């Protein structure tokens, strides 16, 4: 792939760099762990259900979906996609999943379990087990089930309830979700104990859980600071910094310190009116997954004064909640995980956005972060991150008079994203944003 030389139009945060380095660190640690005879696991992004448990048991976890993005960005995904195609997997499946399936096929059929030499960041070693997740999409558990074709490795499918907004308020509903989560995680702990031949250190899990919650609270506060005008932190810094909170990549105590450093840097920018770009003309919300292989695209939009001030609901930390009176760490984990979705439900119900499980957050973002426009990125091979986008566009216009620009692409297949064509649409969209800025003022909105 062609790697464009980045211009420095986005004023990147210094404190982002050590957080971004945690991803590379995670892959290297997993390979080292295997070499040292320690367990490594492949995990699916699980929105905090399973990660603290594995972390407390000193198990290294790598995330094939994250690795799919890395393989795409490093230009090696294509051979895995082609291999998955040859194995009989339909090409319209999730690009991350096809990358993993092609990778596993190469590793197990051609290399007898050895890491493919071309694999970036040291590659993903053969796992002890697979931790899949029902959160957000069907691919998250079906794809790991499909890996059984290449590896006789057990799979634990983590349950993850997705309640309706109206139904969530039925008496007893929330507690039934908590009950499911706690029982399910207790059984998961027993499964992990059997797999690694060690018992859980419950004190360590207690501490890990608290750290996870605190890391995400600070991370949430960092993002709250981005409501300032000009916005001090661009979405590119968000995406670079998020893995330590979302995947719990790296040491949590270290991550907490790094997010606190980031908070300080962003706060200093706010206090001194320093923006993430020099001339913030348009405040933008981005949905959902970015084109990882073409992030330089955002620099060109920054040249035009587009500052991406908020983004990717699915990657944001849960709205903070007080769990200090919950003594069982598994219950704290469950309530924290559920909060990722249901933290928005009360407001969504009040505003009668019943269809808004993952759409309502964008209304909140556009309103509270004072956005002029939304850049929507529907993905050919990721339906879950795309399905709600037309509805998001409708709601943003209907409720807030905020226009949307939809640009199709893909998370892995870079041929499906055309940055030049997308940039051609920027100028007419700016006219639309200017127009709706006037409309909002006429209708009494305050931005």
Partner 1 sequence: MTDRSTGLARVGEIYSNRSQRARELKAQGKKIIGYPCVYVPLEMLTALGLVPYQTCGDMKEPVTEADRALPGSFCPVMRSCLDCALKNKNNFLDGMVTIHSCDPQEKTCRVWESYTNYPYFHFIDMPISVRPEALEYFRNQLGDLKKTLEAFTGKKLSVDALEAAIKSHNRQRTLVKELYELTKPSPPRISGTEMVQVLKALVSLPVEEGNDLLTECISEVKNRTAGPQKKAARLLIWSSTLDDTDVVQVLEDKANVVMNESCGGIRAYRAAVKFTSDPLKSLADYYLNEITCARTFRQATLGETKKDYARDLQSRFGYLKGVVKQWNINGAILLLVRYCDPFAFEMPSLRDYFESLGVPSTYIEYNYTVGALAPLRTRVEAFLETIG
- Name the residues that contact partner 1, by CB under 8 A: 87-90, 92-94, 97, 129, 132, 134, 137-139, 141-143, 145-146, 148-149, 152-157, 159, 161-164, 166-167, 170, 172-173, 176-177, 179-180, 183-184, 187, 190-191, 194-195, 353-357, 359, 378, 380-381, 383-384, 386-391, 394
Tell me which H or E stretch contains 252: helix 252-271
Cβ proximity to partner 1, 21 vs 416, nearer residue: 416
CB of 74 to partner 1, least distance (A): 25
Pairing of strands 40-43, 373-376: unpaired
CB of 229 to partner 1, least distance (A): 32
CB of 406 to partner 1, least distance (A): 9
CB of 152 to partner 1, least distance (A): 5
CB of 413 to partner 1, least distance (A): 12
CB of 94 to partner 1, least distance (A): 7
CB of 169 to partner 1, least distance (A): 10
Cβ proximity to partner 1, 21 vs 134, nearer residue: 134
Cβ proximity to partner 1, 387 vs 418, nearer residue: 387
Alpha carbon of residue 314 to chain centroid:
5
The answer to whether the CB of 415 falls within 8 A of the CB of 128 is no
Cβ proximity to partner 1, 11 vs 432, nearer residue: 432
Cβ proximity to partner 1, 229 vs 383, nearer residue: 383
- Distance CA(58)–CA(48), nearest Å, equals 16
CB of 213 to partner 1, least distance (A): 23
Cβ proximity to partner 1, 299 vs 312, nearer residue: 312
Cβ proximity to partner 1, 161 vs 291, nearer residue: 161
Cβ proximity to partner 1, 111 vs 170, nearer residue: 170
Cβ proximity to partner 1, 4 vs 167, nearer residue: 167
Cβ proximity to partner 1, 114 vs 148, nearer residue: 148
CB of 439 to partner 1, least distance (A): 20
3-class DSSP string for the chain: CCCCCCCCCCCCCCCHHHHHHHHHHHHHHHHHHHHCCCCEEEECCCCCCCHHHHHHCCCEEECHHHHHHHHHHCCCHHHHHHHHHHCCCCCCCCHHHHHHHHHHHHHHHHCCCCCCCCCHHHCCCCCCCEEEECCCCCHHHHHHHHHHHCCCCCEEEECCCCCCCCHHHCCCHHHHHHHHHHHHHHHHHHHHHHHHCCCCCHHHHHHHHHHHHHHHHHHHHHHHHHHCCCCCCCHHHHHHHCHHHHCCCCCHHHHHHHHHHHHHHHHHHHHCCCCCCCCCCEEEEEECCCCHHHCCHHHHHHHCCEEEEEECHHHCCCCCCCCCCCCCHHHHHHHHHHHHHHCCHHHHHHCCCCCCCCCHHHHHHHHHCCCCEEEECCECCECCCCCCHHHHHHHHHHHHCCCEEECCECCCCHHHCCHHHHHHCHHHHHHHHHHHHHHHHHCCCCC
- Distance CA(419)–CA(409), nearest Å, equals 9
CB of 380 to partner 1, least distance (A): 5
Cβ proximity to partner 1, 191 vs 315, nearer residue: 191
Distances (CA, A) of 67 to 31, 61, 98, 124, 349: 14, 12, 12, 8, 37
CB of 325 to partner 1, least distance (A): 24
């Amino acid at each position: 792939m062609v790697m464009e030389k980045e211009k420095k139009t986005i004023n990147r945060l210094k404190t982002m760099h050590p957080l971004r380095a945690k991803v590379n660190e995670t892959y290297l640690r997993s390979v080292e762990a295997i070499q040292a005879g320690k367990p490594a696991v492949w995990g699916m992004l699980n929105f905090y259900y399973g990660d603290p448990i594995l972390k407390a048991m000193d198990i290294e976890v790598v995330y094939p979906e994250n690795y799919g993005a890395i393989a795409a960005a490093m230009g090696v995904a294509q051979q895995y996609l082609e291999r998955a195609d040859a194995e009989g997997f339909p090409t319209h499946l999730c690009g991350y999943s096809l990358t993993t399936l092609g990778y596993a096929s190469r590793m197990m059929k051609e290399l007898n379990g050895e890491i493919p030499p071309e694999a970036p960041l040291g590659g993903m070693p053969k796992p002890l087990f697979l931790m899949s997740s029902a959160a957000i999409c069907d691919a998250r558990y079906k794809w790991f089930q499909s890996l059984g074709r290449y590896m006789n490795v057990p799979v634990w499918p983590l349950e993850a309830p997705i309640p309706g907004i109206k139904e969530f308020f039925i008496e007893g509903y929330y507690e039934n979700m908590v009950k499911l989560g706690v029982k399910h995680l207790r059984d998961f702990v027993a499964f992990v104990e059997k797999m690694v031949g060690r018992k859980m250190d419950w004190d360590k899990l207690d501490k890990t859980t608290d750290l996870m919650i605190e890391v995400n609270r600070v991370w949430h506060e960092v993002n709250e600071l981005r409501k300032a005008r000009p916005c001090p932190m661009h979405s590119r810094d968000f995406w670079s910094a998020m893995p330590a909170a979302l995947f719990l990549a790296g040491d949590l105590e270290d991550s907490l310190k790094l997010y606190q450093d980031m908070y300080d840097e962003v706060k200093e920018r706010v206090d001194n009116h320093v923006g993430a770009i020099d001339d913030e003309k348009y405040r933008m919300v981005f949905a959902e997954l970015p084109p990882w292989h073409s992030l330089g695209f955002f620099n060109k939009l920054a040249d035009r004064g587009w500052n991406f001030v908020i983004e990717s609901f699915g990657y944001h930390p849960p709205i903070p909640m007080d769990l200090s009176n919950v003594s069982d760490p598994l219950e704290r984990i469950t309530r924290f995980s559920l909060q990722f979705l249901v933290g928005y439900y009360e407001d969504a119900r009040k505003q009668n956005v019943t269809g808004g499980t993952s759409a309502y957050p964008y209304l909140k973002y556009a309103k509270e972060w004072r956005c002029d426009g939304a850049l929507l990125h529907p993905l050919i091979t990721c339906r879950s991150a795309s399905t709600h986008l037309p509805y998001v566009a409708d709601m943003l216009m209907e409720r807030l008079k905020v226009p949307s620009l939809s640009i199709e692409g893909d998370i892995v297949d870079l041929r499906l994203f055309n940055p030049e064509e997308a940039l051609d649409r920027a100028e007419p969209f700016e006219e639309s944003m200017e127009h709706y800025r006037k409309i909002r003022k006429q209708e009494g909105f305050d931005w």
